[in-house]
């Protein structure tokens, strides 16, 4: 049982290049999330997907797009990378969401993608 | 979301119990307290969560005060591998707004040999 798998683990881009960060979970979770973490700061939510076919902006969505490809996969795309997007990106998922169990559903995180934009 | 306050850092001797405090005095009745930890270079790891009763699992115990304004995470026999940043999070549902967990700066727990 792999949990949440992120690819690639490391990536270096030049300013203006594009790339897609991949995330897949095998826990049959409905909700998925993308966070970024910068040195000395906590994790900040970029986008989330409450269920297949829906996506919503989080705290810092500018410069990013997401696709919920199916129930298992949630990708994050940088169309034109900037040095300010140098960060560690974490994907997470949580189990099927209804209001009654929302609060009672931990998020499970992958081990991150370390992105450097030069 | 209710705000949490944690000490920035703590030390604990290996083999002893590590008690990590968290203040969440503005917590509301339907908000859970979650604890995560992050070991250097890894993703956050879920530890435990609770509403108002004390909780225990294979990793830790969570003690929530009766008024729910504070909680303590207890690692009963700390090992060097428990050195990490520990996050106390109060989880709220915002209706139409951003979902997920809001992470603060946490407590850097250092286990001393």
Is some CB atom of chain A closer than 8 A to the CB atom of B40?
no
What pLDDT was estimated at residue B31? Answer: 84
Q: Do B98 and A57 touch (CB under 8 A)?
A: yes
- For B95, other C-beta atoms within 10 Å of its C-beta total 7
**Among partner residues B41, B46, B51, which is closest to A107 by beta-carbon distance?**
B46
pLDDT for residue A103 is more than 90: no
Using pLDDT thresholds of 50, 70 and 90, give the confidence band for residue B71. Answer: very high
Which of B6, B41, B44, B49 to probe by mutation at the A interface, max A CB count within 10 Å? B44
pLDDT for residue B1 is more than 70: no
DSSP assignment string, B50-94:
ESSS-EE-SS-EEEE-TTSSEEEEEESS--GGG-EEEEEEEE---
What contacts B67, CB < 8 A, 6 or more positions away?
A: none
Average pLDDT rounded to a whole number, residues B63-79: 96
What pLDDT was estimated at residue B53? Answer: 87
| Distance of alpha carbon A3 from alpha carbon A14, whole angstroms | 31
Residue A39 main-chain phi, psi, to 5 deg: -55, 130
Average pLDDT rounded to a whole number, residues A76-91: 97
- What distance in Å separates residue B35's CA from the closest CA in chain A? 10
Query: Comparing B98 with B28, which gets the higher pLDDT?
Result: B28
From B52, B76, B47, B72, select the one nearest B62 (Cα to Cα).
Answer: B72
Quote the percentage of chain A above a pLDDT of 70.
92
């Amino acid at each position: 049982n792999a949990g949440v798998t992120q690819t690639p683990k490391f990536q270096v881009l030049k300013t203006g290049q594009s790339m897609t960060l991949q995330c897949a979970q095998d826990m049959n979770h409905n909700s998925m999330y993308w966070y970024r973490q910068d040195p000395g700061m906590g994790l900040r939510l970029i986008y989330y997907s409450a269920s297949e076919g829906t996506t919503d902006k989080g705290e810092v969505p500018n410069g990013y797009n997401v696709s919920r490809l199916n129930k298992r996969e949630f990708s994050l795309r940088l169309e034109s990378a900037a040095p300010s997007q140098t960060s560690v990106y974490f994907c997470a998922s949580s189990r099927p969401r209804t209001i009654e169990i929302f609060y009672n559903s931990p998020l499970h995180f992958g081990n991150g993608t370390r992105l450097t934009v030069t | 979301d209710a705000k949490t306050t944690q000490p920035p850092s703590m030390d604990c001797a290996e083999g002893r119990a590590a008690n990590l405090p968290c203040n969440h005095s503005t917590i509301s009745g339907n908000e859970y307290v979650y604890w995560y930890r992050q070991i250097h270079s890894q993703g956050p790891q879920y530890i435990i969560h609770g509403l108002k009763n004390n909780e225990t699992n294979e990793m830790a115990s969570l003690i929530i005060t009766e008024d729910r304004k504070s909680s303590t995470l207890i690692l009963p026999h700390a090992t060097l591998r428990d050195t990490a940043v520990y996050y106390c999070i109060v989880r709220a549902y915002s209706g139409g707004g951003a979902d997920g967990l809001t992470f603060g700066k946490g407590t850097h727990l250092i286990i001393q040999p």
